[in-house]
Structure formats: structure tokens, C-alpha cells
Amino acid sequence: MRRLVSMLAPAIALLAALVGPVPSARAPAAAAAVIEPRPVDIPVRDGVTLKGTALEPADAGPHPAVVLISPWGTPDTIYLAQSAVLARRGYVVLSYTTRGFGASGGTVSLAGPTDLADVSDVLDWMVAHTGADPQRIGVGGVSYGAGISLLAAGHDPRIKAVIAMSGWTDLTETFYRGQTRAFQVLGSVRFFVEATGRPSPDLVEILTDFFADRDRRRILEWTRVRSAVAYLDRINAHRPAIFLAQAYGDTFFPPNQIVDFFDGLTGPKRLELSPGDHGTPESSGLLGMPNPLWTDAGNWLDQYVAGLPTGVEGENPVLLRGLPSDPVETYPDWAHVSTHSDRYALGRVRTRDGTGDLALRAPRAGWRRTIETGVPTTADAGFVVLTNSSAALTGIPVLLWLPTVDRRYAGVWTSTPLDRAAAMRGIAHLRLETRRQRAGTVIAYLYDVNSLGIGRLIAHQPRTWRRGARTLDLAFPPVSYDLPEGSRLALVVDTVDPLYGDQGPREGRLQFTAPSWLDIPVR
């Protein structure tokens, strides 16, 4: 555990920097005559008291209302800047600190049944003690608050809209990304709950079993009931308007699950993807600075909670952001993000340089490549939150000089230089044939490589198997990435990455075989 905490220290420092100092519980001076924030105690059904903050317009209600649920390990006052903005727009805003954190009572069960009951009890309290209109209520939050908000939408039909930023819809993919234990992510979860909260005995047991790699079946059931996708039918029956915002590189909640959930929604919906990692796209808004996600979220609430004509219902519901200088792209649905996929066949690995070809042709049989397992290479995905957030803030992604990848421990394939620029949009897929082995892990990395052999990491994805596998299918996270003319696409596959706790195969050798291929979505 000490080694894990030391690995997480840079990420923890960045998280603290992104959150910044928590605003004090008072309104900005310019708004004092209009908005009066007040700390409140909210009793819930099991006798626990939750701590919150209420902000209301000065004029008489009833008003449209929003409940904001705190992020993991953070008090509800993190929302004061955005609460003030919403209150000025005519909303009753009630934020609260989730049970087990800060001054709120109870213990942390990670979005368990008591957390969902809390949301309904908070709604009851808000209707009874503020000028909130019970027919016009939205809920939302960042990270932990986003995940609970989505779950609550499947359990309380009073919720007319949800704002979910950097949340999850399938908690299983957080614990086991590509069926691979996400050690850094869960290490960070455990560190923060032990440092800032009071974990429930059940959560302690689940995390202990996770790191010991035991009782996986119980863990999978535990995560399933804490996943909004398990209640998709209920959510669709209630038809709340759902606003989803996620970073392409979110290491806590990889956005594939968000895309799948978005596709399954039948009510009003919106999906916005931005560069960065967990919590970074919306972080400036929490500090009171202009932020496009919070602006769009406010318009969403105006339309679907306040009932104001904002025009958002007529806009394309899928929005992809790039760097600040890039134009924002919108699409009518996820299927239109890419027009087609280019299939690159993995070819025979050359003896002279240990590299195979990625070629735009039909995959062919007739080659094999064996690597040794359990040894890290220079290809890796970095550290949770820190790496992708830094890349978004600086414009400098994870870099790799491709010749430094030791071909004894990794399979490497590269394309010829592109004769024209290519716009990657969507989710790339890798089909990898292997010699059947009892158990193991691979991590695949996609790079944009220049003429000097320097690669920019586009995306990565792990895959673990436990009962013998021959064919491995990997879906990379969605991307919006422009490959320049003259660059080469590179695929690296090895068996160890510091983000994850699994590696292998245990036999010490892994053989890749044909036919294997890589599908790249393009416009």
C-alpha cells in the first residue's frame, strides 16, 4: 500500500490543484443583496444528518430547483460558485455533502442504497423548507455526485433533468477496465476515502478483496447494483433529460461506458466529450471561471427544468471538443461521429527490426510472434489523472521514442507514412489472435509517430483473460484526433502497465498470430 500511495502522490497533488481552495460558505459580495446562502442540516430516514448549503432567489417562489451532490471526498461548498450562478438565474439550489464525508453523518458505501435514499430525502427536505417547485427539479454533480445523480434518476421520478460531469454508468469498468484491475484508480479511491471520510465495513471489505484479487464474483455484483446502466429501463421510463460530459482520457471512468449509456437513452439527451482526464474539463467552472460545460449545463436546466425556450432541444446532441483552437464538432448521434473504419492488418514481424507492418489490406494468416511477458517496456499510459490532465493543459501528450520499445517484451506494428491527413473520430477496435493460454493480460497502445520515430499516445486499452482465450477484442476509448499527413500509425502491445494490477500470461511467453487487425474510425 505504501508503494501504491507513493505512485499516486503526483495525481493526488494535481487533484488538489484542480479543486483549488474550497470557497467559503458566503455569497460573492456583488450578489449578496439577491442571494442568501445558508448552511443547512438535512435529516434522512435512517437518522443520519447530511450537511448542505441552500441558495435561493430573493423573490417569492415557487422556483425551479437543482440539487448538487458532492464529489468524492469533497464538501458540497465546492459548488458555491456555480450555485450562485444558478440562483441568480432563478433557481433554488441545494448542495449537500454525501454521507460519510466531512461533517455529514454515516459511512461511505460508494453509491449504495442509502445514498439513493438520501437523494429522495434531500428532495423532500428541499420542497418542504425552500421555495422549490416540486414539479421542476433537477439533480447533478461532478464525479461521485454525477454517478449518484444518474442512479437517482432511475429511482425517483420527480427528477426532470440530470447534469452528470465526469461520472460513471458502469462501475464494473472502473474496477476492471477491460477486465483488468485498475490498481491506481482504486488505490486513489481508497486513499481519499480513508483520508477524508469514514468507509463502511462493506466498502472496506470490497476494496480489500479487490486488491487481494479474490471473490471477484461478489465484487461484480456489488458494482453492478451501483451502475446506472443496470437501471436503464427505469431511467427511460421516467424520461429525465440527461446531460453527460466526460473527458476522452478519463482514467477513473473511461468514456466508452458513457457512450454506450447515451446510445441506450430514449429521452432527451446530450453528450459532450473534451480533452483531459477525470474532472479536468469542468474544473475551471468550479473555481468560478467561464467554462463551456457549465454554460451548456445551465442552458440544459433552463430548457428541461425551468421550462425556458433555449433551443437546445433542436441542437445536435453529440458534441466533441478538441484543443481550445479547434472548432467544436456536433453530430446528430454517435453513429455519425465516424463515416467508416479503415482496417489495418497486422503483418509478419521482421527479424531485422522486430517490427511488423500495419497495412490497409485484408488480414492474412501465416505468421506468429512470441514475446516474453511480465516485463514493462517504455510504452505506458502514465499516472491516473496526472498524465492526461497535463496533456490537455499543455497540449503535450504522452511521448515515446518508438525504437526504445524492447521487442522482446512487446509486439510492435507500424503503418507507412500517411499520404493525406486523417481525422480519427470514434472508437478504434483491435482484434488480436493469440495462442490459447490459461490467463494473462495485454495492454495495447496507439501512437501517432513522426519521421523521427517519436510517437504521441492517442489511446490505450488493457485486456485480461482468466479462463483461456485465443481471440482478444479490445475497444479503445473514443477519440477526436487528427493524424497529420506524413505521420505513421503505430500499435504497441505489451503485458505490463503501472495503471493496472494484472500482468501476464503467467507462463512467461505470449504468442500473437494471424489473422489480427486494427479498425480505425475516420471521417
- The residue written with cell numbers 499516445 in the block is 457
Query: For the chain, what percent of residues have pLDDT higher than 70?
Result: 93
* DSSP secondary structure of 473-508: EEEPPPEEEEEPTT-EEEEEEES--TT-S----TTS
Co-location of 233 and 215 in the same domain:
yes
Co-location of 238 and 373 in the same domain:
no
- The pTM assigned to this predicted structure is 0.92
Co-location of 267 and 377 in the same domain:
no
Query: How far is Cα 357 from Cα 350, in angstroms, rounded to an integer?
Result: 9
Query: How far is Cα 363 from Cα 135, in angstroms, rounded to an integer?
Result: 57
> Is the per-residue pLDDT at 52 higher than 60?
yes
Co-location of 353 and 251 in the same domain:
no
Q: For 20-29, 407-416, 439-448, which range has the lowest pLDDT when averaged over its residues?
A: 20-29
Co-location of 344 and 330 in the same domain:
no
Q: Is 383 helix (H, G, I), strand (E, B) or coil?
A: coil
Specify if 126 maps to a domain.
Answer: yes
Q: Which domain holds residue 400?
A: 340-522
Give φ, ψ of 53 to 5 degrees: -135, 130
Give φ, ψ of 76 to 5 degrees: -65, -20
Query: How far is Cα 111 from Cα 121, in angstroms, rounded to an integer?
Result: 15
Co-location of 283 and 369 in the same domain:
no
pLDDT tens track for 383-394: 888 887 887 777
Q: What is the CATH number of the domain that holds 386?
A: 2.60.120.260
pLDDT tens track for 89-128: 999 999 999 999 999 999 999 999 999 999 999 999 999 9
Query: How far is Cα 193 from Cα 172, in angstroms, rounded to an integer?
Result: 19
| Residues comprising the chain, all counted | 523
Co-location of 359 and 434 in the same domain:
yes
Specify if 147 maps to a domain.
Answer: yes
Give the cell for residue 382: 502514465
**How does the average pLDDT of the chain come out, rounded?**
92
pLDDT band at 35; cut points 50, 70, 90: low
Co-location of 326 and 349 in the same domain:
no
CA angle 484, 485, 491 (to 5 degrees): 65
Specify if 209 maps to a domain.
Answer: yes
First to last CA, the chain: 45
Alpha carbon separation from 265 to 225, 258, 335, 452, 462 (Å, rounded): 18, 11, 14, 45, 27
Domain count, the chain: 2
> Is the per-residue pLDDT at 32 higher than 50?
no
> Is the per-residue pLDDT at 219 higher than 80?
yes
Domain closes at, from 311, 335, 359:
335
Domain closes at, from 335, 354, 384:
335
Co-location of 502 and 355 in the same domain:
yes
Q: Is 155 helix (H, G, I), strand (E, B) or coil?
A: coil
> Is the per-residue pLDDT at 3 higher than 90?
no
Contact 100, 108 (CB under 8 A): yes
* Average pLDDT value for residue range 328-356: 97
> Is the per-residue pLDDT at 129 higher than 50?
yes
Co-location of 324 and 231 in the same domain:
yes
Contact 461, 477 (CB under 8 A): yes
Specify if 26 maps to a domain.
Answer: no
Co-location of 269 and 346 in the same domain:
no
Co-location of 189 and 49 in the same domain:
yes
